[in-house]
Amino acid sequence: MSTERRKKQSEKDRVPEPIAPPPSSLRPAPGNSPTDQTKILEEVGNAAVAATATDDSLARRDPLSLQSTYGNAILAQALIKRKPDDEALSGSPASTSQAKALHNTGAAAVAQQPAPAPAAAAAPFDEAKRFEDIKKILDSIPSGKAALKIKDDLKISVKFVRDAGVAFDANTDTMIMDPNYSLAMSAMAFVHEITHAKARAVALTGDVKSLPQGDIAKAMVSGAVSDLMSLTRAEYVKRRVEEEAEGTVKSIEAKIELEGTKLDVSKDIFPLEKQYRDAYKDAVAKAKKADPLITEDAAANLGREAGKQRVINGFMSNEVETSNTHEPYPIYYGKDWDRFHPKK
């Protein structure tokens, strides 16, 4: 074959050099990640594939191979030409030798790179440590200390169950806690739920004291059944709602105490919290106006009574629904009473 024919054949088979886009589109802006560079690679490679529509010699090439050739070459040129300060700005340092390898061998160079190390396995959940962290918060406020004392007196254990919320299980004398809750929310919910355990223990013994394992469940059952059988429907509903309101108030009081610490509890909102606070402040203001010599403790007690009554009114007037069945509290507790008093 003559020199001239070989030259023409070579020019015919040669893949045209890709036309690089403007430098500004190749050099990542400050803060860009490797994902942005990959996007550049894909855009340039796709443009190369589109070029096959006007060039028969390119149309015979495998599209994915052509995309890799064009895109990798363009990206490599950009990486080689980058200045040291570009690397600092982009947050993704590039090795010139790596860029040249990419330019020369295309996708094969990337395939030969060592595989990234597998992510470390997550450490097993430590229930004891989690509750110790919650206890630190409870120990920092008066209502929390009182709740922990009741827990110890009644020998209540703690178990963490994901997506279970926070609830007291009387059958096992266990406080069920959700590890998805924040530490602060866990502490405040604990204060609420310990109220139910205390109420049932008092129903059986007349006081909160150390009981053998399982006796809290007996207290809850005997207390509830006793109420169901001896009280009218309205009386039973009222008693159960008052207990729920007390737990709610306890949680709000715990939050108010935590507001005096470094913890941010501003996003943790309890049912009827605003109503409680408003009623509390209004009652305290009225008490001090009526008696300028009233003590702070006396005024606070009046405020708490007014606030709790507002919470009770909210429960009774269907402002709040139960979290499990999503129905008004009077209906929820009324159904309990109805089961023991079937219509004749």
| Structural domain count, the chain | 2
Examine the domain organization and report whether 229 and 190 are in the same domain.
Answer: yes
What does the alpha-carbon distance between residue 256 and residue 248 come to, in Å, rounded to a whole number?
13
CA distances for 97 relative to 35, 39, 116, angstroms: 20, 22, 19
**How far is residue 328 from each of residues 10, 52, 176, 309, 312, measured CA to CA in Å?**
85, 69, 24, 17, 12
Is 80 a domain residue? yes
| Residue 228 and residue 133 in one domain | yes
**What is the arrangement of strands in the sheet containing 167-169, beginning at the earlier edge strand?**
157-160, 174-177, 167-169
Residue 168 and residue 230 in one domain: yes
Range of the domain at 233: 127-263
The answer on pLDDT for 90 being more than 60 is no
Please indicate, yes or no, whether residues 165 and 200 belong to a single structural domain of this protein.
Answer: yes
Which residues touch 116 (CB under 8 Å, ≥6 apart)?
none
One domain, residues 26 and 85: yes
User: 43 falls in which pLDDT band (50, 70, 90)?
Assistant: low
Distance from C-alpha of 6 to C-alpha of 165, rounded to nearest angstrom: 79
Mean pLDDT of 97-120: 49
Q: Considering the domain boundaries, does residue 328 fall inside one?
A: no
pLDDT bin (cut points 50, 70, 90) of residue 198 is confident
Give the Cα-Cα-Cα angle 250, 255, 256 (nearest 5 degrees): 95
Q: Which helix (H) or strand (E) holds 159?
A: strand 157-160
The per-residue pLDDT for 241 is 93
Residues 6 or more apart whose Cβ sits within 8 Å of residue 308: 245, 246, 249, 276
User: Residues 133, 104: one domain?
Assistant: no
State the Cα–Cα distance between residues 311 and 290, nearest whole angstrom: 24
Mean pLDDT value of segment 315-321? 93
Query: What is residue 315's predicted lDDT score, i.e. its pLDDT?
Result: 96
Give CA–CA dist 153/209, Å, rounded. Answer: 6
Residues 6+ apart with CB under 8 A from 198: 150, 154, 208
Q: What is the mean pLDDT of residues 173-194?
A: 94
Show the CA angle centred on residue 257, arms to residues 256 and 261, nearest 5°. Answer: 110
Does residue 190 lie within any of the structural domains? yes
Q: Are residues 134 and 246 in the same domain?
A: yes
Residue 208 half-sphere exposure toward CB, CA atoms < 13 A: 18
- Say whether both 74 and 145 belong to one domain: no
Q: Which residues neighbour 336 within 8 Å (Cβ) at sequence distance 6 or greater?
A: 224, 228, 236, 240
Same domain, 134 and 211: yes
> Which range, 59-73, 83-97, 212-226, 258-272, has the best average confidence (pLDDT)?
258-272
| Residue predicted with more confidence, 60 or 169 | 169
| pLDDT band at residue 147 using 50, 70 and 90 as cut-offs | very high
pLDDT at 92 over 50: no
Contacts of 96 (CB under 8 A, 6+ apart): 79, 80
Domain final residue pick, 213, 239, 263: 263
Boundary of a domain, candidates 111, 143, 168: 111
Q: Rounded CA gap, 302 and 282, in Å?
A: 10
Residues 160 and 87 in one domain: no
Q: Indicate whether 35 and 85 sit together in one domain.
A: yes
Query: Residue 69: inside a domain, yes or no?
Result: yes
Using the 3D structure, point to which of 263, 295, 329 is the last residue of a domain: 263
Residues linked to residue 159 through DSSP beta bridges, in sequence order:
176
Give the mean pLDDT of 82-97.
42
| CA atoms 163, 167, 172, 178: torsion sign | positive
* Residues 131 and 103 both lie in one domain: no
